[in-house]
Amino acid sequence: MKLTHVDGEHKKNLVLYTLSTCVWCKKSKTLLSDLHVAYDYVNLDELTGEERDRAIEELKQWNPKCSFPSLVVDNGTCVVGYDEKKIREALEL
């Protein structure tokens, strides 16, 4: 799965599952950028075929609802939705 990297300080390993049209996803990206942390994201709606299916299966492991945004922190926890408080907590900021 092709991830897009956004530069910043490497606090944790962050993978953000998003949709290109989702306004809450956009807010999450803005928040992470404002916090100056490095992260990777993937817009699932822009994937096709097997790559898309694999990405959906991967996300379902973290968030069975497969809703967006979903932020996977250090391959261990997942923050579902745009929740500034929870995101800050997960990043220990």
Per CB under 8 A, residues contacting another protein are: 19-27, 44-45, 48, 56, 60, 64-68, 80-83
User: What strands, in cross-sheet order, belong to the sheet with 4-6?
Assistant: 4-6, 39-43, 14-18, 70-73, 77-80
CB 44 to another protein: min, Å = 6
Whole-angstrom distance, CA of residue 2 vs CA of residue 64: 21
**Matching residue, tokens 């092709």:** 2
CB of 20 or CB of 77, closer to another protein: 20
CB of 9 or CB of 85, closer to another protein: 85
Q: What is the DSSP letter of 28?
A: H
Q: Using an 8 Å Cβ cutoff, are 39 and 6 in contact? A: yes
CB of 60 or CB of 88, closer to another protein: 60
CB 67 to another protein: min, Å = 4
CB of 56 or CB of 93, closer to another protein: 56
Provide the 3-class DSSP secondary structure of residue 71.
Answer: strand
CB 74 to another protein: min, Å = 22
